[in-house]
Chains A and B, each alone.
Chain A
């Protein structure tokens, strides 16, 4: 796992994907911070973080699109799959590389909370809760993106498909609002990433939601392992 993790980290910086991701992330966060927080003269960050949902949704595929599709296309997966490592090591190595980059991005924008703390009074628990909410969200989304990357050889297709799938997850809420059947409504709304995320940003720490995001991450990594395993059997 370590070798794959280190290679992926290297590849992010060699290919430039890391710089693009970090730059766009910092830029968007900066704009929202300026407009939503500084502009309104508040230390309340919930609104900013909840609107970041949609940008995380579009940025995560930049990190994940290449991870497995390129391996398949360049036949380098032959090197990985015939090396004495398990499929979980391969998948988790890549997963944690992407997650690390996401953490780096979050650390970059943590500077804003320090700015806030200097300028006014902040409720640290809510503020930190917001950062952690975004981290959990990223952890789940990266697993989804990695899974989709395993399904295709074309990284652009992987990126577009990931964006669509993540966007559908975002739409689950508005979908469930229009459904009259109580059971379906309940199922859809309990699968909603957005409402759980928003709950977090408002300072409510809900252990079920943490578990929800972590299980989503685990589940999609598991699917990715199955996809690699299935390709072997196909």
Chain B
């Protein structure tokens, strides 16, 4: 239905959209997710033919948006970031204008009634748009996009400025529309995309950072097997912690083990990371059974969409090594903050260069420590908390 190939948009030196390709099938709802300024609106403006692309091709229902704009545009209903409303007109007059502008052939009165009912603006049809609230204006914008029943709907941040009830209504409406239309929806709000979309494209700094369903994206980013275990040792003391850590580390395929906080009396949590595509859950279970320990909890650390979004947009995805080091969540991050505080305390006596050196040396030392001597580190950590 929509096919985008190697789309690029350049503003002077600035590359707003850099070589993105994707396709959307009929009846799919595609979510465009990205921080502000990522290139979402630019892409949507290109898709709808409002601005041209520097290079690349866009096909809407087989028609090229630049070669055959009229055919392509007649397949699109577009709700831009700021709804294109003539504020001096009444809702009815405006929708009538859009009906004429789009050369709609559907029965006029019935079609406009349908659209108004769908967007719940039947009650304000005789009011002048200037006097409508933001939420109603947004709905009139949506109604305008729906006129002529276009097979493709492109909605740029459709829920901005709506109250929570209206947001839910609009989401429900979009899902409903998604059954008969192909919908592209942009947002910087994660739950929205997650709630509504079949497929997600995460765009950052003009490039596609991830593309697929929420699950696919999560899977593609987490090929390491990570889990958090809560194991009850035999003695309920800190000695358990050492023993268990060492025993798990001795298992084949384990990359990394770290004892975490004491969650229950004398029982600790352990962050375990196995080598890629290795499932060590059974091995750990066997180990515990042999030693007489009890596994009280085993949790695979799946990334939520939020984690993915942060991970991608903070630039971690660019370097897999960076991602790996940033990932072990919780305490290790705390440690970094601890470092920061440490450095901050010494700020007065050091020149900036020295401070930087100090910081890198220290954090490097901490990294080493965390790899070699987990126990002491987590003890420090536990003490802190």
List residues of chain A with CB under 8 Å of any chain B CB: 2-4, 6-7, 10-11, 14-15, 74-86, 232-234
Contact = CB atoms under 8 A, between A and B. Distances in A.
Contact of B76 (A7, A10, A74, A82): A82
Interface of B: 45, 48-52, 69-71, 73-74, 76, 78, 80, 82, 84-89, 93, 97-98, 100-103, 144
A83 B82 contact: no
Contacts of B86: 7, 11, 74, 76
Given A3-B100, A7-B97, A232-B52, A82 B73 contact: yes
B49 A81 contact: yes
Interface residues of A: mostly helix, strand, loop or mixed? helix
Contacts of B97: 3, 6-7
Nearest to B84: A79
A14 to B, nearest CB: 5
Nearest to A233: B52
Contacts of A232: 49-52
A87 to B, nearest CB: 9
A78 B80 contact: yes
A75 B50 CA distance: 11
Contact of A83 (B73, B87, B88): B73
27 contacts: A3-B97, A7-B89, A11-B86, A11-B88, A11-B89, A15-B88, A74-B84, A75-B84, A76-B86, A78-B78, A78-B80, A78-B84, A79-B78, A79-B80, A79-B85, A79-B98, A79-B101, A81-B50, A82-B76, A82-B78, A82-B80, A83-B73, A83-B102, A84-B71, A84-B74, A85-B103, A232-B49
A7 B87 CA distance: 12
A121 to B, nearest CB: 48
Contact of A3 (B84, B85, B101): B101
A158 to B, nearest CB: 18
B70 A77 contact: no
Contacts of A15: 88
B93 A10 contact: yes
Nearest to B47: A82
Given A14-B88, A74-B87, A78-B84, A85 B49 contact: no
A6 B78 contact: no
A82 B50 contact: yes
A80 B82 contact: no
A14 B101 CA distance: 20
A61 B185 CA distance: 41
- List 5 tightest A-B contacts by C-beta distance, closest first: A79-B84, A3-B100, A84-B74, A84-B73, A3-B101
